[in-house]
Structure 1
Amino acid sequence: MALKSLKKKRRIQVVALAVVALIVSTGLIGYAMKDGINFFRSPSQVMEEPPSPNEVFRIGGLVEDGSLERGVGETIRFRVTDGGATVPVVFTGVLPDLFDENQGMVGTGRYVNGTFEASEILAKHDETYMPKEVVDALKAQGVYQEPES
């Protein structure tokens, strides 16, 4: 009888330890990913419901024609649009080689005082590619044009 009781007790300890390990690992994964998950928003979504200044997210669309301003040093200002709304963007750093007006872009950063402060800017890498999120946002506004083959 004592042997069965000991086995049952050991089994309960193993199960309890496994549950604790699962909870701890889930917590650690969630903590590690908290800054790694950035939600995508189109300029229209940003203007409809402006996110809080401490929320990091991605914005994408087309760089508005005539809006690109290269400032002093490495600070660049431009506007990104999805055809329905336009958001001013400021970025300090080196832009990708293919970054230009009327080209698709995705930026990561924060929306502070009516301006998207980008910490990273990505540009489409060839004439046919544009991030799916940007294409979907442009299609929703009715301004997306299929690339010519």
Structure 2
Amino acid sequence: MSALGGLKKKRRIQIIVLAVVALTVSTGLIGFAMRDGINFFRAPSQIVAEPPSAAEVFRIGGLVEEGSLVRGQGEQIRFSVTDGAASVPVTFGGVLPDLFAEKQGMVGTGRYVNGVFQASEILAKHDETYMPKEVVDALKEQGVYQEPDASSAVN
């Protein structure tokens, strides 16, 4: 009877060890798969204060600075994004969203190389009152955010 009890105990330990190994491997695989999908948000003043490495992909957000939008050859576009405290030059080689305009909120994904944010994707506001939460938070932190006028909102 004691030999049978020892076998059961050994089998339970093997199952527990196997479950722990499987859980560790699956957690590692999920983390590995998500490493490229996680993009941290930064405001222009954070980028100027602590420039990220050129290899890091992240999101930048703020207002498109008035008078900074310049269309280049082909689809090349240059503009600056600001949070009221700092401005960061941005280049983008694609088609801008229809609602993209100066003095409006935007969020871009890309890399900061040699003092210029090279965007691979640009997102613009959805309607006249929308602004991404990260942009609102960054503008509030700088003290330049103004609540949208409720009388101008369309229901």
User: Match of 2:53?
Assistant: 52
- Residues 67 and 79 of structure 1 are in contact (CA less than 8 Å); yes or no, is this contact kept in structure 2? yes
User: Match of 1:61?
Assistant: 62
Query: Distance in 2 between the 1:3 and 1:96 partners?
Result: 70
User: Match of 1:13?
Assistant: 14
Structure 1 position 130 matched with structure 2 position 113: no
Query: Distance in 2 between the 1:135 and 1:44 partners?
Result: 14
User: Match of 2:119?
Assistant: 118
Query: Distance in 1 between the 2:89 and 2:66 partners?
Result: 13
Name the aligned partner's letter for residue 69 of structure 2.
L
Query: Distance in 1 between the 2:59 and 2:10 partners?
Result: 51
Structure 1 position 36 matched with structure 2 position 37: yes
Query: Distance in 2 between the 1:115 and 1:105 partners?
Result: 16
Name the aligned partner's letter for residue 41 of structure 1.
R
Percent identity, aligned pairs only?
79
Size of the aligned set, in residue pairs, is: 149
TM-score, length-scaled by structure 2:
0.95
Structure 1 position 2 matched with structure 2 position 3: yes
Q: Per-residue CA shift, 1:19-65, capped at 9, x if unaligned?
A: 00011001001100101111100000000000000000000000000
- Residues 127 and 147 of structure 1 are in contact (CA less than 8 Å); yes or no, is this contact kept in structure 2? no
User: Match of 2:76?
Assistant: 75
User: Match of 1:24?
Assistant: 25
Structure 1: 5+ residue stretches without partners: none
TM-score, length-scaled by structure 1:
0.98
Q: CA deviation at 1:129?
A: 1.2
Name the aligned partner's letter for residue 129 of structure 2.
T
Q: CA deviation at 1:66?
A: 0.5
- Residues 74 and 93 of structure 1 are in contact (CA less than 8 Å); yes or no, is this contact kept in structure 2? yes
Structure 2: 5+ residue stretches without partners: 151-155
Query: Distance in 1 between the 2:98 and 2:144 partners?
Result: 25
Name the aligned partner's letter for residue 37 of structure 1.
I
